Amino acid sequence: MSVSKYTTQTLAPARSRLWIRQTQTPMSAVTAARYPAQHPAFDPLQPLRQWLDGIKICDAKFARLLCRLIPAQCPFERDITLFGKVLFHIPPMCKLNPLYEQFVGLRFRALCYLADQCGEDVTPYC
Q: What is the pLDDT of residues 24-74, one digit of tens each?
A: 555 555 555 555 556 567 888 899 999 999 999 999 999 999 999 888 887
Quick one: which of 49, 60, 65 has its CA closest to 105? 49
pLDDT tens for 61-110 read: 999 999 998 888 877 778 888 898 888 887 777 777 888 889 989 999 99
Q: How high is the pLDDT of residue 91?
A: 77
**Rg (the chain; Cα; Å):** 21
11 confidence band (pLDDT: 50, 70, 90): low
8 A C-beta contact, residue 115 and residue 63: no
Show the CA angle centred on residue 53, arms to residues 49 and 56, nearest 5°: 145
End-to-end CA distance of the chain: 51
Instruction: Return the pLDDT at 9.
Output: 61
Q: What is the reported pLDDT for 1? A: 53
The CA distance from 113 to 55, in Å, is: 13
More confident residue, 2 or 96: 96
pLDDT value of residue 50: 93
Which residue type does 37 have? A
User: How would residue 14 be classed by pLDDT, with cut points 50, 70 and 90?
Assistant: very low
CB neighbourhood size of 45 (10 A): 13
